[in-house]
Amino acid sequence: MITTRPGNTKKACVMSDGIDRNDGPASFPDQGRDSFPCFRSPPSQRRLFLQGMMGVALLSHPLAVFAASKAPSRQRFFSEHPWLQAWVERGLFESDRLYDLLARIKPDKRVVKWMNHQAEAKPYNQYRTLFISENRIKGGKNRLKRYAKTLQAVEEKYQVPAEVVVALWGIESSYGKNTGGFSVLRTLFTLSTGYPRRASFFRTQLRHFLLLCQEEGFAPHTLKGSYAGAMGQAQMIPETMRRYAVDFDGDGRRDIFHTPVDVLASIASFLAGHGWKAGERYTLLPVQTPNLKNLVSPSLDKMKPWHWWQAQQVQLPEGVSPPDPNQSVGLVRLKEKNGLRYHLVFTNFRVITRWNRSSRFAMVVHELAEQIRV
């Protein structure tokens, strides 16, 4: 769900680890960030990316901000965290590297507290105002023009509309202005060891994060992100970044921290990888009839062909062309100021819920994309 930092009712942020738990099941989509509240610190932060592979000097650098005063013995450290020893035995990492990186990390109690923080779900008419503003629309239009050549190339390769890619960029990080101020390394280790409900998930993300650092030459202590471990201008979790981030400018790095070209292509890569269908409708507003309340899709993984909806007496407004009889369709409801409103949704709506499981999120991406389209 959308949350704010405890005690702060003015600032909200959104990414795939930060949306309404009421919008979907507790399981994780590929992006893995549907059930976690999010907070990103203001964007004034030091450079997140350092070139070059991790060296001994970086690995043993004092963690002044979050280090414990004394590291446990090596034997005790690995006996307390046998899953780390398993990584060593699998040949993923050297034991010295893991010990130097992790043994002195002091858990960040804030992230556990905020992961457990529940904010009241907002009706859609309030939710949308968090993300659709004149500034965000203007910023999106400007970036569509500024990166027109890149976006054209991205769209040709991945078949995802430029305005959808830019809308996600804007919602996730305000076009790169707000990417988070939490140490990703500390956050993921804290949640791997001190958040039992999702410890397995965060251990997987920590493993992918360390592998990502090796592959891309990131210095792990320097990378900042959300308090659920999402990173960069696209706010991808490490596993997603390893799988879908791309080096679109050809400089040898998949840099979603500082390179908008890579950010835009990586977002499109994710959507294409989850089945985006070029040219397909996103939503339709059916005639609002009482029988719709009993037809809401329990899961968009089980959409039904349009002919099934016709058999249930679902109607479209006059003049609206119907979908193909066999086209997959779902039905979602969103709480508006004047009550519930039902929407027929198609495959591309479902694809956005792979980025973020919330139906509200998927709808607000669509609305912002429509408003920034040049």
State residue 177's pLDDT score. 96
- Here the tokens at position 209 are 């994060």
Predicted model pTM: 0.83
CB 232 within 8 Å of CB 263: yes
Cα 161 off chain centre by = 19
Question: Residue type for 21, please?
Answer: R
CB neighbour class for 62 (10 Å; exposed up to 12, middle 13-18, buried from 19): exposed
How far apart are the C-alpha atoms of 127 and 20, rounded to whole Å? 11
| 3-state SS class at 92 | coil
State residue 2's pLDDT score. 32
Domain coordinates in residue numbering, the chain: 283-345
State residue 231's pLDDT score. 96
How far apart are the C-alpha atoms of 246 and 264, rounded to whole Å? 9
Q: In Å, how far are 82, 211, 238, 280, 345 from 204, measured between CA atoms?
A: 14, 11, 9, 34, 32
How far apart are the C-alpha atoms of 186 and 178, rounded to whole Å? 19
- Here the tokens at position 316 are 């479209």
Per-position pLDDT tens, the chain of length 374: 333 333 333 333 333 333 332 333 223 335 644 433 333 433 333 333 333 333 323 333 434 446 655 889 999 999 999 999 999 999 999 999 999 999 999 999 999 998 988 556 789 999 999 999 999 999 999 999 999 999 999 999 999 999 999 999 999 999 999 999 999 999 999 999 999 999 999 999 999 999 999 999 999 999 999 999 999 999 999 999 999 999 999 999 999 999 999 999 999 999 999 999 999 999 999 999 999 999 999 999 999 999 999 999 999 999 999 999 999 999 999 999 989 999 999 999 999 999 999 999 999 999 999 999 96
Quote the strand ranges of the chain, DSSP E.
Answer: 182-183, 224-225, 283-284, 304-305, 328-336, 339-345
How far apart are the C-alpha atoms of 280 and 165, rounded to whole Å? 16
Interhelix angle 260-273/162-173, rounded to 10 degrees, is: 110
- Here the tokens at position 371 are 């408003």
State residue 122's pLDDT score. 87
How far apart are the C-alpha atoms of 138 and 364, rounded to whole Å? 16
State residue 117's pLDDT score. 80
DSSP 30-78: TT--SS-------S--------S---HHHHT---TTTB-SSPPPHHHHH
How far apart are the C-alpha atoms of 150 and 170, rounded to whole Å? 16
